[in-house]
Amino acid sequence: MKKRVFSGIQPTGDLHIGNYLGAIQHWVKIQHEYDCIFCVVDLHAITVPQEPKALKAKTREVAALLIASGIDPKIASVLVQSHIHEHSELTWILNCFIPMGWMRRMTQFKEKSQKQKEEVSTALFDYPALMAADILLYDTDEVPVGEDQKQHVELARDVAQRFNSICGDTLIVPKAVIAEAGARIMGLDDPTQKMSKSEEQPGRAINLLDSPDDMRNKIMRATTDSLREIRFDESRPGVNNLLVIYEQFTGQGRKEIEARFEGKGYADLKRELAEVVVEGLSPMQARYRELTADPSHIERLLAEGAGKVRPIAEKTLALVKERVGLG
Ligand code: AMP
Ligand code: TRP
């Protein structure tokens, strides 16, 4: 039996090469080795206000980008969270087993709610319970996530253990798998900040659906420093970040890359990097256009994805309800 992997991605903002190199490429690699479920988490997205039409379109866009990037829906399952109502139902039951104190410790809520003050939704506070439900519903063994999500996966572990100790062995206790550091991509405009889905800083991220010229322009304008030498050096975050992106897209060794740019200037590095990124993403973009030419195609793939995993979700929820005395 293959181990089960579950991960989720929010359908908000534009996916960028940080998501691609830090998460999606990793998912593509592990799909043969594990039984993978990748979920576009639209219920998480509505914890903050969303425009309904845009949310629906974004959900399809993100799913299509995952598939265009190489996740094979015949091998892994790609689904939309709200297509399986068991996510919401299990969240409610788990809520009854999560002490408020555990939730109050969640650092992401503290950060996000500071920005929104009193406008913040109850659901944003409860976000980790929905995430725990996502994971526990499918008997997940491993959850590949970024460092920022580790605390949420820990909460899923804690609630699984607590549920099992109160109600008897029911839920598989999952474990977080954090991608190694090298894959952390920084903002082009400000290499001290993580590359992120940010509308306010259009120069920060290379989005997966950017045109080749937009990609070139953003890379040519990337912040560097006033030194000259081109080498991997974390104390020079701008140049280092460009080199890391080059390394990730080409798969070349660091020594080889440094030798290639010896005696050359930043403009040369940027020009070459831009071509590497444009070329690197172009097959994915072509597949995306193909996949979305007929909107019913992605709709069908997502229905199939939900269909494949629904029996697992139904079985877990039925058992949980039984253990709690519901029904
Ligand atoms: P987010 O965009 O924050 O919803 O993250 C979705 C996935 O992409 C998570 O697994 C993150 O760890 C990964 N990710 C997001 N931004 C970056 C980045 N700048 N570098 C590497 N990985 C990232
Ligand atoms: N909260 C995660 C993020 O913002 C997305 C997510 C939702 C997720 N449910 C999940 C990740 C379950 C892993 C497992 O990145």
Q: Is 36's C-beta closer than 6 angstroms to any atom of ligand 1? A: no
To test the pocket of ligand 2, the residue of 125, 152, 175 to mutate (highest count of ligand atoms within 8 Å of its CB) is 152
CA of 217 to the centre of ligand 2 (A): 32
Nearest CA to ligand 2 atom 6: 8
Task: Give the residue numbers marked as catalytic.
Answer: 112, 194, 197
> Would you say the CB of residue 23 lies under 6 angstroms from ligand 1?
yes
Name the residue among 123, 126, 141 with its Cα closest to residue 94. Answer: 126
Which ligand lies nearest to the CA atom of residue 152 in the structure?
A: 2
Which domains are seen in the chain, by residue range?
Answer: 4-178+295-324 (3.40.50.620), 212-289 (1.10.240.10)
Rounded distance from Cα 110 to ligand 1 centre (Å): 19
Does residue 42 contact residue 85 with C-beta atoms inside 8 Å?
A: no
Question: How would residue 199 be classed by pLDDT, with cut points 50, 70 and 90?
Answer: confident
| pLDDT attached to residue 148 | 87
Tens of pLDDT, residue by residue over 111-144, are 888 877 788 999 999 999 999 999 999 999 999 9
**DSSP tag of 202:** T
Q: pLDDT tens across 230-258, in order?
A: 999 999 999 999 999 999 999 999 999 99
Kindly calculate the radius of gyration of the chain based on its CA atoms and give it in whole angstroms.
Answer: 21
Alpha helices in the chain (DSSP H): 17-19, 25-30, 42-45, 52-68, 86-95, 100-104, 107-116, 122-137, 150-167, 212-220, 237-250, 254-260, 266-293, 295-324
Ligand 1 center–CA 148 separation, angstroms: 9
pLDDT at 180: 67
Is the per-residue pLDDT at 15 higher than 90? yes
For residue 312, how far is its CA from the centre of ligand 2 (angstroms)?
A: 19
The answer to pTM > 0.85 is yes
Nearest CA, atom 13, ligand 2: 7
Share of the chain above pLDDT 90, in %: 91
Give the pLDDT confidence of 160-170 residue by residue, as tens digits: 999 999 999 99
- Mean pLDDT of all residues belonging to the chain: 95
